[in-house]
Amino acid sequence: MPAAGGVPRVGDNAFERWATLIRERTGVEIPRQRHSFLATGLARRMRATGVNDSEAYYQWLSRGPGAGLEWNALVDQLTVQETRFYRDPRGLALLRRYCREHTRGDAGALQVLSAGCATGEEAYTLALVLEEAVGGGRGYAVTGTDISLGALALARRGEYPATRLWRLPRALRDDGVEPAGEGRWRIVERIRRRVCFVQMNLLRDDPVTLPPLDVVYCQNVLIYFARRQRERLVRRLAEWLRPGGVVILGGGEFPPTSLAGLQRVGGEDVLAFSREAS
């Protein structure tokens, strides 16, 4: 598969091999229609690393020791990090409801995970909603996780152009962001202190350092996964909950079937499961 015109030719067999490697390691499915997306991502990384034979690049990534950093860089190319502040008002309404029902608790601060948080907009949105709901009382902590180190670096900066903020309701904007110069806005320190970002592959890693979670918020991640991986992932997310905690998914990302040990909650307009008390 020599590189031609800057983009390696990826034949059917090679496409299958790459798609399998990516699916097995990340869960992300690259369908055949996205062939050129894969080829372009490979080309970028091959150019950046000076490897001009895609077979050699494959061998390096699939076996080579020390390929971890390059694997991270390729994953950055092959994952979709599109995100927005205040993306799903229905999921956030369920979060508010959960907070109202759990204003007091002897378990300390509410622990919330933004799973597949991309560049941080979702994690900060959750923090802004939680600040309003429980900030003066029980308190809260948000952990944003993603497989992409590049996305997490931007998330940690917590600075965004003004154009990205328009969906945030006025009250949350007034409370949560401040000007950072040159048309950019920064999440205020009070909110940033409540949020941390950690690299995590949702299929493989466990949040061992986190206490049992009240809420796992995972939206627009499952859609990139092979269908058979979706149920497995929802089950994993639910295992990280404390009894009574909820997984809030994006609508339509997962067939709203019943899952043993999990109870469908939140009504028709939102897809969420609660872990039954054991």
Ligand X SMILES: C[S@@+](CC[C@H](N)C(=O)[O-])C[C@H]1O[C@@H](n2cnc3c(N)ncnc32)[C@H](O)[C@@H]1O
The stretch near ligand X (CB under 6 A) out of 114-122, 180-188, 207-215, 256-264 is: 114-122
Q: Is residue 44 close enough to count as binding ligand X by CB under 6 A?
A: no
For 240, half-sphere exposure in the C-beta direction (CA atoms, 13 angstrom radius) is 26
Q: CA-CA distance, 43 to 13, in Å (whole number)?
A: 17
**Separation of CA 208 from chain center:** 17
Indicate which single residue of 54, 83, 111, 143 sits in contact with ligand X (rule: CB under 6 A).
Answer: 83
Query: Could you tell me the two tokens for 208?
Result: 């061992």
Is 122 a binder of ligand X (CB under 6 A)? yes
Site for ligand X contains 152 (CB under 6 A): no
State the binding string over 13-32 for ligand X (x if CB under 6 A, else -): -------------xxx----
Q: What span, in angstroms and rounded, lies between the C-alpha atoms of 223 and 232?
A: 13
201 contributes a contact to ligand X by CB under 6 A: yes
By C-beta, is 190 or 204 nearer to ligand X? 204
Q: At what angle do helices 12-26 and 68-78 cross, to 10 degrees?
A: 100
Residue 157, classed as helix, strand or coil, is helix
Count of Cβ atoms closer than 10 Å to residue 47 Cβ: 13
Q: Exactly one of 95, 124, 146, 246 binds ligand X (CB under 6 A); which one?
A: 146
Nearer to ligand X, 53 or 231 (CB): 231
Distance between CA atoms of 157 and 40, rounded to whole angstroms?
28
| 214 contributes a contact to ligand X by CB under 6 A | no
214/212 Cα distance (integer angstroms): 7
Terminal alpha carbon distance of the chain: 54
Cα dist from 184 to 24, 129, 150, 163, 267, whole Å: 38, 21, 19, 9, 38
- Minimum distance between the CB of residue 114 and ligand X, rounded to whole angstroms? 7
Q: Is 253 in the site for ligand X (CB under 6 A)?
A: no
Q: Does residue number 235 form part of the binding site for ligand X (CB under 6 A)?
A: no
63-82: contacts with ligand X (CB under 6 A): 79-82
For residue 7, what are the β-bridge partners?
4
Q: Which is nearer to ligand X, 3 or 271 (CB)?
A: 271
Is there binding between residue 203 and ligand X (CB under 6 A)? Answer: yes
Number of residues located near ligand X, criterion CB under 6 A: 26
Q: Is 226 among the residues that bind ligand X (CB under 6 A)?
A: no
Paired residues of 162 in beta bridges: none
Site string for ligand X, 163-192 (x = CB under 6 A): ------------------------------
| Residue 23 vs 53, nearer CB to ligand X | 23
Burial environment of residue 13 by CB neighbours within 10 A (0 to 12, 13 to 18, 19 or more): exposed
Q: Token pair of 139, please?
A: 């308190």
Site for ligand X in 84-113 (CB under 6 A): 84, 87
Residues interacting with ligand X, by CB under 6 A? 26-28, 79-84, 87, 116-118, 122, 146-148, 151, 200-203, 219-221, 224
